[in-house]
Structure 1
Amino acid sequence: MLHVQDLHAFYGKSHVLHGVHMDVKPGEIVSLLGRNGSGRSTTVKTIMGLVDGRGSVRWNDHELLGLKPFEIAHRGIGYVPENRDIFPKLTVQQNLLLGEKRKQGNPRWKLDDMYRMFPRLKERQHTAAGVLSGGEQQMLTLCRTLMGDPNLIMIDEPTEGLAPKIVELVAEYLKELKRRGISVLLVEQKLTIALEVSERCYVMGHGSIVFEGTPADLRGNAYIRKEWLEV
């Protein structure tokens, strides 16, 4: 489905990604782990066309490198950025409707689905998004991306700075995606959640993939955890 091979990226003269490789299969949750500055966010931004890359990013056998972000989104890839990027002066419902993809047939996700997953959004549907709490804004961003009916969703640090109860909601959200057959590439620092919901994990260090395996493999590899994950 998604196949990344020998991916390099630069910020000016700074070489950030060094030959990254990874795959995400249909209906699979894959976690991309690593310390801050390891290149995880740059990887998903490069896949999404927000950072210029060199190498290959293939999606259903079509090359994505060189396409604009909106073209990549229209091909069925959703992206939830770390900074959320909600529209603060629009209501919750208006934000959700902006994410809706107009196409023939019945979309997999509707407003009712969003409100069922996160009842708090229904309570706040007519409230300006800018006055929501951080957790509510994260819920809104996750749901707005789903309204685009993606086949793959890339989520950057969805639990960062959230209260434990909201973290549990995000974990349930990820499991719901899996139940509906949507592929997920999850950038996450909380190892517990990543290992709970993922089928496979990649660990990044200094812009390269230093480990690939199952959650069980990672739990059993004390060296990788100590060298590349633990603070």
Structure 2
Amino acid sequence: MLDIQNLHAYYGKSHVLHGVSFQVNPGEIVALLGRNGSGRSTTAKAIMGLVDGTGHVAWKGQEILGKKPFEIAHLGIGHVPENRDIFPKITVHQNLMLGQKGKGKGSRWSFDDMYSMFPRLKERQHTEAGVLSGGEQQMLTLCRTLMGDPDLIIIDEPTEGLAPKIVELVGEYLQKLKSRGISVLLIEQKLTIAMAISDRALVMGHGSIVFQGTPESLRADPYTRKEWLEV
């Protein structure tokens, strides 16, 4: 579904990604792990056309490297950035409306789905999004992206700064996506949730993939965990 080969990315003259290659298959949760500065968020931005890159990024067999972010989004890739990027001066419901493509006909997801998954959003649907808590804003960003009916969703640090109960809720949410056939590329620092829900784990270090395998094989690899993950 998503096939990345020899991806290099740059911020101006700074060379950040060095030949990244991996795939995300249909209905699969892939965890992209690594310390801060390892290149995980830059990988997401390169896929979405938000930073300059060279190499190949194919989506369902079509080369998308070089396309504009809105063009990539309309092809069926959703991106939930680390900074959440909600619209603070409009309501929760209006934020969700902005996530829809067209009139939302044929979408796998409805407003009722979002409110059923996260009842707190239903309670606050007429509240300005800027006054929501951090956890509520994360829920809103995830749901707004889903309203665009993506086949792949790239989620950058969804549990950052969230209470443990909300982290559990996010994990359940991601598994619901998988159950509906949506692929997930999960960029995460918290090993607990990533190892619990992912089908495969990738580890990044210094802009390269240094490990690919199952969560079980990563658990059995103390060198990789110590060298590239543990603080």
TM-score range, shorter chain: over 0.9
| TM-score (normalised: structure 1) | 0.99
TM-score, with length taken from structure 2: 0.99
Matched residue, 2:209: 209
Aligned-partner SS, 1:38: coil
Query: Partner letter of residue 8 of structure 2?
Result: H
Aligned to 1:81: 81
* SS of aligned partner of 2:130: helix
Map of 2:150 onto structure 1: 150
Deviates more, 1:100-109 or 1:132-141: 100-109
| Percent sequence identity over aligned pairs | 77
Q: CA deviation at 1:75?
A: 0.2
Q: Which structure 2 residues correspond to residues 100-115 of structure 1 after superposition, within 5 A?
A: 100-102=100-102, 105-115=105-115
Summarize the alignment of residues 1-231 of structure 1 with structure 2, pairs less than 5 Å apart: 1-102=1-102, 105-231=105-231
Instruction: Give the secondary-structure state (helix, strand or coil) at the position aligned to 2:210.
Output: strand
The size of the alignment, in residue pairs, is: 231
Structure 2 counterpart of 1:171, which letter?
G
Name the SS for the 1:82 alignment partner: coil
Separation (CA, whole Å) in 2 of partners of 1:28 and 1:167: 20
Which stretches in structure 1 are left out of the alignment for 5+ residues? none
- Is contact 2:78-2:146 (8 Å) kept? yes
Structure 1 residue 12 displacement after superposition: 1.3
Which whole-Å CA distance do the structure 1 matches of 2:129 and 2:104 have between them?
Answer: 29
Counterpart AA for 1:3 = D
Q: Counterpart of 1:186 in structure 2: which amino acid?
A: L
Contact 2:104-2:148 within 8 A present in 1 as well: no
Give secondary structure in 1 for the equivalent of 2:26.
coil
Q: Distance in 1 between matches of 2:114 and 2:97?
A: 11
> 1:201 Cα shift?
0.7
Displacement of 1:104: 7.5
Aligned AA (2:140): L
The one-letter code of the counterpart of 1:117 is M
- Structure 2 unaligned spans of 5+: none
Amino acid aligned to 1:230 = E
How far apart are residue 102 of structure 1 and its match?
A: 1.7
